[in-house]
Structure 1
């Protein structure tokens, strides 16, 4: 079954399913940080079982979606959040903005991917993990040597040759900053970012953009996430995917129902679908680590030591301190951020 795209505008995608309504049609507004090109196949697969439910996707980066939800707190516009960083959902949960619900089959998921309260306020989908995308050809032209650690990236040889995501708009950027504060401590963490900032060419609004730009040869080094690097390398890009020796940050994409929705039954059906093995197999096309055990297939070029390098991420720290961390980051570094 196919469905038309209603609109595609800068930074946001809205897609609508054609519903062969067997009974009264329901309509869901779903805020998502999932890559735009993946939304069609998720909606089409869901619609096979629920042709009566129309989905309106509103897509943007993690930080933008999080800010939008917070701004709409007193007048929610979304029914479901699908594919937002767990650290963001923890913050929304603390604000009482999520409707607890245990999807059918949630017990099959790895417990690390499920909110620990019963019923859970959110359920995880997949995880994405930090890495450094290093263009070997462009770096050789510039006489650069490969970094092996986060600390290495502050060396003078890399000045103007690094791009990373803005943590205010990118979930990838935020877990980088949060992980550095956890790894190095607050004082040394900010001192590290001060030094790194000297070498940053610019901050992008997308977490995948730094790796894509490195793959295209527009910058030698992009701080991004490993799966994006593996896919770019598989497509022929001259990339080395580097796992910094200190350890790497990570986050998971998760799904939740927005409190106050008047489409609760339809929202619950979408949550039920989100935890199925079929849905997790689809997540695995974009992420190497998924919530449903035994589903993930080996990903070519995915660093073998990456899972071992994942830090013991304190999601509560990341969620509870998000506003203060972003305020401090923006006051120090926002001058190099992309304008749009």
Structure 2
């Protein structure tokens, strides 16, 4: 959407719903609007919480945790997981991120192939903590798994879903109405009834007000690495962290 807006493919649009969206979740010129987002969180097994008074509240804490069993999705396996890695680099720098992940690595029980696997492992007590997208955690909590969410205090990565209206779109007025509908409770109800638990960007919705966990601190450094750079960064993680002393 950022590229499309920059290349002149989109037209600006504003409505009562889109005007309520925070500035960091939409284009400054209103060429696109974020509709929902999915932050990365720490997912803690409840039994582990009851046995341990000291819990990691952020990324630094997690890197210094001793004896904690951690689950995470492999950065090569899913875009949302790779997105976390790139956000960490944008925030802490490449070397700072690699140093942090090197400290976490010895506690990682499994680098999973799917976003849901680490959350299930935490729910089953196979790991103590999972780094996961919030929507997956909420889905398992809704299914009765004993899990709690901690939002990293330094900030966190997120996937933003958004919409824009194409220039010269043949059905522009209908497109605007649909884009506006995506910011309503009705759209959120459709998502949640199909077990998609995203955070609405429109804080005026009832769905937003009823969220048990909301207002996460989002990283303010945007990810804007080209495809070749992303692969280069992933390769360095594999060599310096994932396979450095790999037994997972």
Q: Same fold (TM over 0.5)?
A: yes
For 1:200 and 1:95, how far apart are their aligned partners in 2?
Answer: 40
The change in CA–CA distance for 1:208 and 1:266 in structure 2 (over 3 A counts) is farther
Contact 2:42-2:150 within 8 A present in 1 as well: yes
CA-to-partner distance for each residue in 1:26-81, whole Å, 9 max, x for gaps?
A: xxxxxxxxxxxxxxxxxxxxxxxxxxxxxxxxxxxxxxxxxxxxxxxxxxxxxxxx
1:289 and 2:199 aligned: yes
* Residues 258 and 264 (structure 1), Cα distance of their counterparts in 2 relative to 1, 3 Å cut: closer
| Cα gap change, 1:314 to 1:94, in 2 (>3 Å) | farther
Residue 95 (structure 1) shift: 8.7
**Residue of structure 1 equivalent to 2:234:** 329
For 1:124, the equivalent position in structure 2 comes to 34
Tell me if the contact between 1:284 and 1:290 (Cα under 8 Å) persists in the aligned partners.
no
Counterpart CA distance in 2 for 1:289 and 1:237 is 20
1:178 matched to 2:122? The reply is: no
Q: Which has the higher contact order (CA 8 A, sep 6+)?
A: 2
Give the drift of 1:238.
1.5
Are the structure 2 counterparts of residues 218 and 99 from structure 1 closer, same or farther at C-alpha, using a change threshold of 3 Å? farther
* 3-state secondary structure, aligned to 1:202: strand
Residue by residue, what CA displacement relative to the aligned partner does 1:89-128 show, whole Å, maximum 9, x if unpaired? Answer: 43x53895x831446x64531153332346x1x3311122
Counterpart residue number, 1:239:
147
1:307-318 pair list within 5 angstroms: 307=215, 309-315=216-222, 318=223
Mapped partners of 1:239, 1:145: distance in 2? 17
Matched, 1:147 2:56: yes
Partner of 1:7: none
**How far apart are residue 223 of structure 1 and its match?**
0.5
Aligned match for 2:105, one of 197, 209, 229 = 197
How far has the Cα of 1:310 moved from its partner?
1.0
1:279 alignment counterpart: 187
Are the equivalent residues in 2 in contact too, given 1:133–1:239 (CA < 8 A)? yes
For the 8 Å contact 2:27–2:33, the answer to whether it is kept is: yes
Q: 1:172 to 1:264 in 2, by over 3 A?
A: same
Secondary structure of 2:55's counterpart equals: coil
Q: How does 1:224-263 map to 2 (within 5 A)?
A: 224-256=132-164
Root-mean-square deviation (CA, aligned residues, Å) is: 3.9
* Gap change, CA 1:107 and 1:223, over 3 Å in 2: same
Q: Secondary structure at the match of 1:314?
A: coil
Distance 1:102 1:191, change over 3 A: same
Distance in 1 separating the partners of 2:57 and 2:201: 30
Matched residues, number = 232
Is 1:219 aligned to residue 127 of structure 2? yes
Q: Is the 8 A contact 1:132 1:243 kept in 2?
A: yes
Instruction: Give the drift of 1:294.
Output: 1.0
| Partner residue of 1:157 out of 67, 80, 84 | 67
SS at match of 1:129: strand
Q: In 2 relative to 1, CA 271–214 (structure 1 residues): closer, same or farther, beyond 3 Å?
A: farther
2:115, 2:163 → 1: CA distance? 19
Q: Where in structure 1 are there 5+ consecutive unaligned residues?
A: 1-88
Q: Give distance in 1, aligned partners of 2:88 and 2:61.
A: 14
Residues 126 and 283 in structure 1, CA contact (< 8 A), matched pair in contact too = no
